[in-house]
Amino acid sequence: MPKLTVEGFDSVEVPAGKRLVLALVDEAGIDQMHACGGNCRCTTCRVEFVEGEPDTMTQAEQDKLAERGLEGVRLSCQIQVNHDMTVRAVSRLADTGRPDPGPRPEPEIQPEPVWVEKA
């Protein structure tokens, strides 16, 4: 199983192919934001990669990051944990004042992923 390390937290093993947003919540126990329910609409699930950033991304993620002018971050709702990775959780509920992180994302990446090389 791939190892997920979140800066400031213990490393955890994650079932291969699990969405990063769910691994952050379920395995790492992080209060990760996902206001739109993991549908690549809001960008609240942002993470910064320290190591192991995937070379591909979904077209939806690429488009949303460009639309919002975001650089140096990735959307955890659009990433599968298929190898060891280290991330910085930069979008956590505790930092927002919101009552909850958002609806629980589905197990599969939404919208249906079209994979592209990371720009």
pLDDT in tens, 28-84: 999 999 999 999 999 999 999 999 999 999 999 999 999 999 999 999 999 999 999
The model's pTM is 0.97
**Residue 36: count of CB within 10 angstroms of its CB:** 17
Q: What is the CA radius of gyration of the chain?
A: 13
Q: What is the pLDDT of residue 8?
A: 96
Helices (H), 15-101: 20-26, 59-68
pLDDT in tens, 52-62: 999 999 999 99
